[in-house]
Chains A and B, each alone.
Chain A
Amino acid sequence: MDSRTGGDAAFVAFEHVQKSYDGETLVVKDLNLAISKGEFLTMLGPSGSGKTTCLMMLAGFETATHGEIKLNGRPINNIPPHKRGIGMVFQNYALFPHMTVAENLAFPLEVRDIGKSDREAKVKRALDMVQMGNLGGRRPAQLSGGQQQRVALARALVFEPELVLMDEPLGALDKQLREHMQFEITRLAHDLGITTVYVTHDQTEALTMSDNIAVFDDGRIQQLAPPTVLYEQPMNSFVAQFIGENNTLLGTVKEIRGDLAVVELDDGELIDCKPVNVSKAGERTKVSIRPERVEFNKARLKPGAHTLKAEVLEFIYMGDIFRTRLRVAGNDDFVVKTRNAPDQVRLQPGQQIEIGWLPQDCRALDA
């Protein structure tokens, strides 16, 4: 695990935070997390993994059962939500339906006793920022989903908070709009230099937007890393499974020689892997290979590398890529993705091939 403990440099820090709702089970188990200023951190995980609870504890709507949450070095456990000065975008936007867009935006300024002219200027600036300048007089119900999303964003930013929390803000939008908003949100966050904590269960969203991703499962952070590291070097089999598409082969470690492990698969074949979560021979392991790193062109493999026999079960044409399903070592769901290039081989179902990979792309993880 790669959780960093919050030092003085951290802008937001979770220190040994635990949370239980019923006094019997822990929803969040010993959470340690440090977020530096200006960082865009995404909490990614399946539902029930504790990510939203963490966000709510940070916002002040839930209290930590144990541990401390610090904002700018100051413990905030006993500060009520309205005094934390944290902007928040909710899943269903939570725009106040009885107020116009401009009134919604003016609300946080009004409760802060900001003068009228100042207020209007800030509202206008915030609306312009999300390209909604001409819709200030509308009611939320008269706006489309994307527009509501923009207003919610503007409202969370209008009082210039240093930290903005977003709880699955794009969940209700259609695919195209979601992609557009992903870009907008990251652009705004970087332009304004705000620290953002973003909660989502959509891994694509997490990968495209974040500086760092914390993958949650079972109340713990399974891995905290930048997107590239997270995808290419998953630290355990949960992360490998959860992020992107992944092929898994079950086996036993035969021997470990420095940076190379030989794994005997359950059907007796041997493969070369990079040991990540395994330490000694005889351990059970799940071997993880990304579908796009599987090679069946022998010329591209290192001489002497272990290869596996595979039978082609299905060939799916997906436009930009080909997705070929293979039977490998008793696994019927072994997928290979190849680019639709002019010289690319199109495998036929029933064809017997041999596949292999570079040892560093094949990671021996916990079983």
Chain B
Amino acid sequence: MTDTVDTGPMRAADGTPLKVSLARALRRQKIRALALVAPLLIFVLVTFIAPIADMLFRSVENQIVHDTLPNTVRALADWDPSSAETPGEPVYAGLAIDLQTAAEMKAHTRLGSRLNYEDPGISSLFRQSGRNVDDFGKAAMKELVAADPAWKDGATWGNLLGTDKWVEAQTAWGADKTGLQPAFKARSGVAGTLPRTLGAYALFAADARESGRKSALESKPWPALATALEQDLRAAAPESLSALEGIDTALLARTRDAVDAAAPVDYRADFLAMDKDWASPDVWRTIRVFSPQYTAGYFLNSIDLEKTYEGITKRPPEERIYVTLFVRTLWMSMLITFCCLLLGYPVAWLLANLRASTANVLMILVLLPFWTSLLVRTSAWKVLLQQQGVINDLLVWLGLVDDGHRLAMINNQFGTIIAMTHILLPFMILPLYSVMKTIPPSFLRAARSLGATPWTAFWRVYFPQSVPGIGAGSILCFILAIGYYITPELVGGTQGVFISNRIAFHISSSLNWGLAAALGTILLAAVLLLYYVYDKIVGIDNVKLG
């Protein structure tokens, strides 16, 4: 043995610092541990964290209006929504381009559905207008082709708006058509002079790239491009057009002259002719209010408010349902949890204190419903509780209830509470049991030997020690209850349904996923809040599952 005299860091036998050596020694273990948990970690990330993050995002996301109607939204910014007037011509002109491109990409119906959540009826307006809106484009295209037939050719548009490199690459792709078309790159300077055309063409090129059959240069140009170019040419100063480099400026100048010579299109009048609803300021208000990329609208809907141009207002009374549902879900979940506790505590006590053989039989009785299909159990309650069901028949037979006044015990809140208490009971009993199992019987004996009556011994000594089990069971039951869906759906009728039934409705029937996400987020937040409150009052350390 040699004594080390250096005062530096502790070193291992081979001279490396002890910390480095230790880290190296533990690294393998750490990697192995990580590898062992990796499948679960990935599973949880993919199936749990990611969906929750996506849900949280969906509850505020609102890019569809901004992305589908870029020109309209831009022009609409100048309009005063409180006026009774419809917006000016630029808005309609923008809409003519946007709606055409949207119709080409079949996006207008989706947009219509989105706005329909806020203003019912708007979706048919979008659907019908989308059908005829390319009339604008066809007329404009005719005009352009009259000025120069080259506009019929996709290559003309590509040369005008894309970089030379992109056109080259695109031509090369057209020769063998393997792989993905090169992504569109805008020619410099065009964005300032021909913004609408460029915007529409970017969508056109992306659409061609996605379909993948024909090169953007070979595809038939969208009529929307003609509308956009016509508007751009009217708006652009002649000198800015001729200043563009690398393109056929003569073609542009020629076309511009032809466009100028023709009478300007009255987009507003044409849209009103298409559908008189375009004259309604309400439609434009809706579009304007929901034009930002992110919105609190879904959350406001979730608490029976709505977002209008005047700010946040209450929904009309007949449309207020969610607050009621949230409150109902919360108090019924609490009631169900309480019922579970009331019924489960004595059972858990018996389980923990009976002889092992008897306790095992009882445990199987507790677990048996647990192993039975949820649907079977719920259906069984239907059989028992319905007006012509077992319990009513029995009560009538006993003469306790008149045959004409059978009790309504199902398809209402009573039914939901009964069935859910039954279903969630094991979740209360099991944590209670595992905690009670750890309380030695000598505590009760000690209390009694010290002079406490059986009740005092229970209340002062046994009960406080079972509180962690009560906490665990209650949290488990409550959280399960608050998100329960199938049972309330089957036995709840209209008065006994929970917020989760509404969420399911929006997910699968109305397809308003944003609202469903907002409702879900609120539910999640409510649970987390209750959890926090519970932690503050009882202390989460006081929760024991065994």
Q: Please state if A94 and B445 are interface contacts (CB–CB under 8 Å).
A: yes
Interface centre among B440, B449, B456, B465 (most CB of A within 10 A): B449
Q: Please state if B448 and A107 are interface contacts (CB–CB under 8 Å).
A: no
Q: Please state if A82 and B442 are interface contacts (CB–CB under 8 Å).
A: no
Q: Please state if B442 and A94 are interface contacts (CB–CB under 8 Å).
A: yes
Query: How close is B355's CB to chain A, nearest CB, in angstroms?
Result: 11
Q: Please state if A90 and B442 are interface contacts (CB–CB under 8 Å).
A: yes
A111 interfacial by beta-carbon distance below 8 Å: yes
Q: Please state if A88 and B451 are interface contacts (CB–CB under 8 Å).
A: no
B323 interfacial by beta-carbon distance below 8 Å: no
Complex Cα spacing A91 to B460, Å: 21
With both beta carbons as reference points, the residue of chain B lying nearest to A155 in the complex is identified as: B450
Complex Cα spacing A352 to B440, Å: 58
A111 touching B440 in the complex, CB below 8 Å, given contacts A82-B451, A94-B446? no
Interface size on B, residues (CB 8 A): 19
Complex Cα spacing A96 to B447, Å: 9
Residues in B428-452 with C-beta less than 8 Å from chain A = 440, 442-443, 445-452
Q: Please state if A87 and B449 are interface contacts (CB–CB under 8 Å).
A: yes
Q: Please state if B442 and A108 are interface contacts (CB–CB under 8 Å).
A: no
Q: Please state if A92 and B450 are interface contacts (CB–CB under 8 Å).
A: no
- Contact of A111 (CB < 8 Å), options: B442, B443, B453: B453
| A interface secondary structure, majority | loop
Complex Cα spacing A81 to B451, Å: 7
Mark contacts of B454-467 with chain A using CB atoms, 8 A cut-off: 1 yes-contact digit, 0 otherwise: 10110011001100
Q: Please state if A81 and B448 are interface contacts (CB–CB under 8 Å).
A: yes
Q: Please state if B442 and A92 are interface contacts (CB–CB under 8 Å).
A: yes
With both beta carbons as reference points, the residue of chain A lying nearest to B461 in the complex is identified as: A96
Q: Please state if A81 and B440 are interface contacts (CB–CB under 8 Å).
A: no
Q: Please state if B442 and A112 are interface contacts (CB–CB under 8 Å).
A: no
Query: How close is A241's CB to chain B, nearest CB, in angstroms?
Result: 31
Query: How close is B490's CB to chain A, nearest CB, in angstroms?
Result: 42
Q: Please state if B453 and A98 are interface contacts (CB–CB under 8 Å).
A: no
Residues in B400-444 with C-beta less than 8 Å from chain A = 440, 442-443
A97 interfacial by beta-carbon distance below 8 Å: yes
Q: Please state if B465 and A111 are interface contacts (CB–CB under 8 Å).
A: no
With both beta carbons as reference points, the residue of chain B lying nearest to A94 in the complex is identified as: B446
Complex Cα spacing A81 to B450, Å: 9
- Give chain B residues whose Cβ lies under 8 Å from the Cβ of A59: 445, 449
- Give chain B residues whose Cβ lies under 8 Å from the Cβ of A111: 450-453, 456
Query: How close is A155's CB to chain B, nearest CB, in angstroms?
Result: 7
- Give chain B residues whose Cβ lies under 8 Å from the Cβ of A97: 465
Query: How close is B432's CB to chain A, nearest CB, in angstroms?
Result: 17
Mark contacts of A29-69 with chain B using CB atoms, 8 A cut-off: 1 yes-contact digit, 0 otherwise: 00000000000000000000000000000011100000000
Interface centre among B446, B453, B460, B465 (most CB of A within 10 A): B446
Complex Cα spacing A98 to B465, Å: 7
Complex Cα spacing A98 to B467, Å: 11
Complex Cα spacing A355 to B199, Å: 120
Complex Cα spacing A98 to B447, Å: 13
Complex Cα spacing A84 to B456, Å: 16
Mark contacts of A71-107 with chain B using CB atoms, 8 A cut-off: 1 yes-contact digit, 0 otherwise: 0000000001111111110111010111000000001
Q: Please state if A107 and B445 are interface contacts (CB–CB under 8 Å).
A: no
Q: Please state if A90 and B445 are interface contacts (CB–CB under 8 Å).
A: yes
Q: Please state if B451 and A61 are interface contacts (CB–CB under 8 Å).
A: no
With both beta carbons as reference points, the residue of chain A lying nearest to B443 in the complex is identified as: A94
Complex Cα spacing A111 to B452, Å: 6
Q: Please state if A61 and B450 are interface contacts (CB–CB under 8 Å).
A: no
Query: How close is A171's CB to chain B, nearest CB, in angstroms?
Result: 13
Query: How close is B35's CB to chain A, nearest CB, in angstroms?
Result: 38
- Give chain B residues whose Cβ lies under 8 Å from the Cβ of A322: none
- Give chain A residues whose Cβ lies under 8 Å from the Cβ of B465: 96-98
Q: Please state if B460 and A82 are interface contacts (CB–CB under 8 Å).
A: no
Q: Please state if B451 and A112 are interface contacts (CB–CB under 8 Å).
A: yes
A216 interfacial by beta-carbon distance below 8 Å: no
Query: How close is B470's CB to chain A, nearest CB, in angstroms?
Result: 13
Residues in B215-238 with C-beta less than 8 Å from chain A = none
Query: How close is A157's CB to chain B, nearest CB, in angstroms?
Result: 11
With both beta carbons as reference points, the residue of chain A lying nearest to B463 in the complex is identified as: A98
With both beta carbons as reference points, the residue of chain B lying nearest to A84 in the complex is identified as: B449
A198 interfacial by beta-carbon distance below 8 Å: no
A107 touching B450 in the complex, CB below 8 Å, given contacts A96-B461, A97-B465, A98-B464? yes
Q: Please state if A81 and B449 are interface contacts (CB–CB under 8 Å).
A: yes
A159 interfacial by beta-carbon distance below 8 Å: yes
Mark contacts of A144-168 with chain B using CB atoms, 8 A cut-off: 1 yes-contact digit, 0 otherwise: 0000000000011001000001000
Query: How close is B154's CB to chain A, nearest CB, in angstroms?
Result: 82
Q: Please state if A108 and B443 are interface contacts (CB–CB under 8 Å).
A: no
- Give chain A residues whose Cβ lies under 8 Å from the Cβ of B452: 82, 107-108, 111
Q: Please state if A86 and B456 are interface contacts (CB–CB under 8 Å).
A: no
- Give chain B residues whose Cβ lies under 8 Å from the Cβ of A84: 449
Complex Cα spacing A7 to B451, Å: 28
- Give chain B residues whose Cβ lies under 8 Å from the Cβ of A159: 450-451
Q: Please state if A86 and B443 are interface contacts (CB–CB under 8 Å).
A: no
Query: How close is B510's CB to chain A, nearest CB, in angstroms?
Result: 51
Q: Please state if B451 and A94 are interface contacts (CB–CB under 8 Å).
A: no
- Give chain A residues whose Cβ lies under 8 Å from the Cβ of B456: 111
Q: Please state if A86 and B464 are interface contacts (CB–CB under 8 Å).
A: no
Q: Please state if B440 and A92 are interface contacts (CB–CB under 8 Å).
A: yes
Query: How close is A12's CB to chain B, nearest CB, in angstroms?
Result: 15
Query: How close is B467's CB to chain A, nearest CB, in angstroms?
Result: 8
Complex Cα spacing A186 to B261, Å: 123
A82 touching B445 in the complex, CB below 8 Å, given contacts A96-B461, A98-B464, A107-B460? no
Interface centre among A83, A97, A107, A112 (most CB of B within 10 A): A107
Interface centre among A90, A111, A156 (most CB of B within 10 A): A111
Complex Cα spacing A60 to B448, Å: 9
Query: How close is A196's CB to chain B, nearest CB, in angstroms?
Result: 14
- What are 24 A-B pairs with beta-carbon distances under 8 A? A59-B449, A61-B445, A61-B448, A80-B454, A81-B449, A82-B452, A84-B449, A87-B450, A88-B450, A91-B442, A92-B440, A94-B440, A94-B442, A94-B443, A94-B445, A94-B446, A107-B450, A108-B451, A111-B451, A111-B452, A111-B456, A112-B451, A156-B449, A165-B449
- Contacts A107-B447, A111-B451 supplied; 7 other A-B pairs, CB < 8 Å: A82-B451, A83-B451, A90-B442, A91-B442, A94-B443, A98-B465, A108-B451
Which residues of chain A have a CB within 8 Å of any CB of chain B?
Answer: 59-61, 80-88, 90-92, 94, 96-98, 107-108, 111-112, 155-156, 159, 165
